Structure 1
Amino acid sequence: FANAYVNDVFTIPANLAGETLPTVKIRVTGHGPMVRHRASPSAHLASKDQPLVHRVLNLPPTAARRASSSTIPPVCKKTSSYHSKCENPFAMFTEPKIQTKRRVAIIGGGLVGALAALYFARRDWNVDLFELRKDPRIQGNRAGLSQKSINLALSTRGLSALANTGLNLDEMVLNFVIPMKGRMIHLDKGELRSQSYGIFGEALLELLLNTTRKFTNVNIFFQYQMKTCNFDSGLLEFVNKAEGTTIQHTADLIIGADGAYSSVRSQLMRVINMDYNQEYITHAYRELTIPPIIDDKGDPKFAMDPNHLHIWPRHTFMMIALPNLNKSFTCTLFMPKETFDAIKTERELLNFFEVYFPDSIPLIGEQRLKEYFRNPIGSLISIKCKPYHYRNRALIIGDAAHCMVPFYGQGMNCGFQDIELLDSIFERFNITAFHNDNYDDKLELALEEYTKLRHEDAVAICDLAMYNYIEMRSSVVNPWYLMRRWVESWLHWLFPTLIIPLYTMVSFSTVRYSEAMKRWQWQGFLLNIIGLMSGAIIAMLLALLYI
């Protein structure tokens, strides 16, 4: 029973000597069956003069034991048998101390949950990952997952979290990355204008899930829906959607990585005073596809430059297009919900695109444009909450803790950085997979430190994502914005450590989001002063010319 712990002690019917023998009930870790170990009667039990505990432990009669003692000091060996020289008959129960691994249950098997599983597995925790959906690695399950999804951008923050797993994930991900070198702005009349940026393609989730196979301490359960959880006892109840059965599970730590509509967060709100704010923006989104074109050799090719994020900004709405590995583009149309509702027929849809996105029609194709009515409309929500943890028992990460609108491409990167930060805090507080002195207190302090450090940054990126939507749909065609951006780029070239564009700080560094926001605000103030001074100098020069 090397990996067991004593769970309970109870009695069984009396033995032949007329006395009751204790039975030790032992539970073996790993959700094995309950084992009952019964002390067997021996010849020593024939004498009722001997104490019961000595007979249970198969000890020789007291007199004989004392007579056999010598000057050699007694030794209590760390074995399952009692040493006859040992004066303490309970030594076998106090030595050795049995260490059991901690078990973490991660609710949500998306990108953030899968990466969290790898980080905990690397720390030698027993990991159970639960996902409501079917296994996305199975071909037949992918169609339902791709009906409503916004392509993802992988930035320096996300790459850093992948690299720190020590599993070469940052190198492996390059196999399905499409490097992006800029924004491509599609103006009303079909004109193109390039601006600097960078983006990422698909299949990262499959890579993360497959990598968990390297660890024997990771179990993944698909089509498991969490119904209830008791954080204090660590008891969770799931419904197995595939079989229609109810399953109970226990864990030492519960991690909620189950997205914007988090069940774990809902359960947390019952036991802690959580500050919570959610905001649905007036815009929604719908997806379309630009198929690949076929060249003379019959091979598929991109219909547009794949190394740019393509944007059709139209002030109150916009469309973007991101490349896929199969040479197609996923187009996402962001519009007010009432605008979506106003387009009811195929003729109205075609007229709308002829007015606002004329250059996209030959790329999408009139027939494929009809997918507009078959594809679902997705809502856009921003969520902020605090705290993220409950004692030493639970924590929420990713969209469950801070859901942002997708216009900065930082949702996944922020979630990945959550895990990297948590791992660094565990390292600092010496949180291991095994129990040690003051373990529960240290874990609670570590989770509290995580909430303290992460909340300010999460609020900052949620606000920046909302601001970037305004920039993408409107500002990118504003002459004043373009001039200001040019001045900022010029100053960055002259003073690279003094003036750093906001997007560079957010996407191409690991600077804290809150620090990036503060620095951006300071730089904006500086640029305004430079603009005013430049305007004043120009006005003075013009005045001198006319005097």
Structure 2
Amino acid sequence: EKGNLTQQPYGNEGEAIYSVSRAELNVLMMEMAEQNGATLHFDEKCIDANLEESEAVFENAHTNEKQTIYADVLIGADGAFSAVRKQMVKQHNHVYNYNEIEHDYKELLIPAGKNGTHLLDKNALHIWPRGEFMLIALANLDGSFTCTLFAPKNGENSFEGLNTKEEVENYFARTFPDFTDLVPNLYEQWNMNPTSSLGIVRTYPWHISDSSLLIGDAAHATVPFYGQGMNAGFEDCRILDELLDKHEGDLKSCFEEYSKTRKPNGDGVQDLSMHNFIVMRDKTADPNFLLQKEIEKKFANLYPDKWTPLYSMVSFTNTPYSDAWEIGMKQEKMMKEIMKTKNIEKEWKSDEIMQKMLSLV
């Protein structure tokens, strides 16, 4: 069975989303840190912390030797399974919740064609939407595509029961037949690459007095469906830097405002990410949804000061995530009314529809 191929712009001319190598970005940031006087230590894992004293205990991955480091301020940028956050919860009863979603993921690779050519359009994010599960592909500079299968842990069309070569190949032949032609070593990749879980971290507050605070995934780890996890962490840094200037050395006031103002945006990027998961796996195959996006695009072009599509708002502006989520839900409610219009599939380009939208904004 063959489906339909559709192409949807996610921004205006000149707006592009770049897929950046995390390894190369890490190297660049380490070089910049060293240029600014930082000393880097590798293979040291934070295993404990005394938050009031800004002390952290590290264990060497090779020797198992432990050492306690004393600092003026302890910033927990230690990821979704943060040791610093763990101590905030343990020592100060901070609110903490980890919600693992019902889907897992596995990465696969479409190799480059002859002479490093791309076998699919390199200027697009490719999605095979299948309702409860989906496959996506992102182009790499070497001609290959990094692909990710997102599917339920159990039940129909899930990772459950995909163990033998026959089971895996039959699954892809049935659900993504065009993909199998692009990956000659599918089963070898399937066995080699891990199946990993996805989850959301929520905690509060994000700080202890003037001695310690959380940034990035340690404070608000999210699912990857908006590609905004790292951006949200960088935004934490930008806002923290602005607040340090604002409070002129008063770290307690700075950390309090940081925690209070960033928490809604941590929640916001998580809500946006889960919402976009549904859009990607389900709605991108819905003709009514595609029409709705066309209507939104036309209205945004006519009245750019009245309407910025949600995806553009998140990806191409500094609109706070919490504001973008709130505005996006209002837009969705309004578009439900517009889509109820009689013969909308024929009348959507009319002035009447645009004026109706203008009256609802």
TM-score (norm 2): 0.88
Q: Which residue of 1 aligns with 2:94?
A: 274
**Structure 2 residue 328 is matched with structure 1 residue 520:** yes
Contact 2:78 2:217 in 1 (8 A): yes
Q: Deviations over 1:20-46 (max 9, x none)?
A: xxxxxxxxxxxxxxxxxxxxxxxxxxx
Report deviation, 1:530.
Answer: 3.0
Distance 1:530 1:303 in 2: 39
Distance 1:233 1:383 in 2: 25
SS at match of 2:147: strand
Q: Which residue of 2 aligns with 1:58?
A: none
Report deviation, 1:242.
Answer: 2.6
Report deviation, 1:322.
Answer: 1.0
Report deviation, 1:500.
Answer: 1.3
Contact 2:96 2:201 in 1 (8 A): yes
Q: Deviations over 1:400-444 (max 9, x none)?
A: 10011100111011011000000000011113xxxxxxxxxx201
**Structure 2 residue 82 is matched with structure 1 residue 262:** yes
Mapping 1:415-430, distance limit 5 Å: 415-430=233-248
Report deviation, 1:382.
Answer: 0.8
Report deviation, 1:207.
Answer: 1.2
Distance 1:331 1:190 in 2: 19
**Structure 2 residue 254 is matched with structure 1 residue 398:** no
Q: Deviations over 1:484-531 (max 9, x none)?
A: 111111111111111111001000100011111222222223323333
Report deviation, 1:255.
Answer: 0.6
**Structure 2 residue 293 is matched with structure 1 residue 485:** yes
Q: Which residue of 2 aligns with 1:336?
A: 152
**Structure 2 residue 189 is matched with structure 1 residue 376:** no
SS at match of 2:8: strand
Distance 1:455 1:469 in 2: 22
Q: Which residue of 1 aligns with 2:260?
A: 452
SS at match of 1:364: coil
Contact 2:128 2:176 in 1 (8 A): yes
Q: Which residue of 2 aligns with 1:308?
A: 124
Q: Deviations over 1:201-251 (max 9, x none)?
A: 312111111222312x20111111122221222232211223332212100
Structure 2: segments with no counterpart, 5+ residues: 11-16, 348-361
Report deviation, 1:326.
Answer: 2.1
Distance 1:486 1:405 in 2: 27
- CA RMSD in angstroms, aligned pairs only: 1.8
Mapping 1:142-541, distance limit 5 Å: 189=2, 191-197=4-10, 198-202=17-21, 203-215=24-36, 217-294=37-114, 299-338=115-154, 339-365=158-184, 367-431=185-249, 442-534=250-342
Q: Which residue of 2 aligns with 1:116?
A: none
SS at match of 1:261: coil
Q: Deviations over 1:55-99 (max 9, x none)?
A: xxxxxxxxxxxxxxxxxxxxxxxxxxxxxxxxxxxxxxxxxxxxx
> CA 1:310 to 1:351, structure 2 compared with 1: closer, same or farther past 3 Å?
same
Report deviation, 1:476.
Answer: 0.5
Distance 1:317 1:368 in 2: 18
Distance 1:248 1:324 in 2: 41
Report deviation, 1:191.
Answer: 4.0
Distance 1:424 1:454 in 2: 13
Q: Deviations over 1:358-387 (max 9, x none)?
A: 11112111x244310221111000111111
> CA 1:350 to 1:532, structure 2 compared with 1: closer, same or farther past 3 Å?
closer
Letter in 1 for 2:328: W
SS at match of 2:148: strand
Letter in 2 for 1:352: Y
Mapping 1:33-112, distance limit 5 Å: none
TM-score (norm 1): 0.59
Distance 2:233 2:53 in 1: 27
Contact 1:201 1:324 in 2 (8 A): no
SS at match of 1:195: coil
> CA 1:238 to 1:264, structure 2 compared with 1: closer, same or farther past 3 Å?
same
Contact 2:137 2:147 in 1 (8 A): yes
Distance 1:530 1:334 in 2: 32
SS at match of 2:125: strand
Distance 2:340 2:60 in 1: 64
Report deviation, 1:293.
Answer: 0.9
Give the number of equivalent residue pairs: 335
Structure 1: segments with no counterpart, 5+ residues: 1-187, 432-441, 540-547
Report deviation, 1:273.
Answer: 3.0
Contact 2:55 2:74 in 1 (8 A): no
Contact 2:133 2:281 in 1 (8 A): yes
SS at match of 1:335: strand
Report deviation, 1:534.
Answer: 4.9
Instruction: Looking at secondary structure, tell me which structure has more helix per residue.
Output: 2
Distance 2:90 2:202 in 1: 17
Letter in 1 for 2:150: F
Letter in 2 for 1:307: N
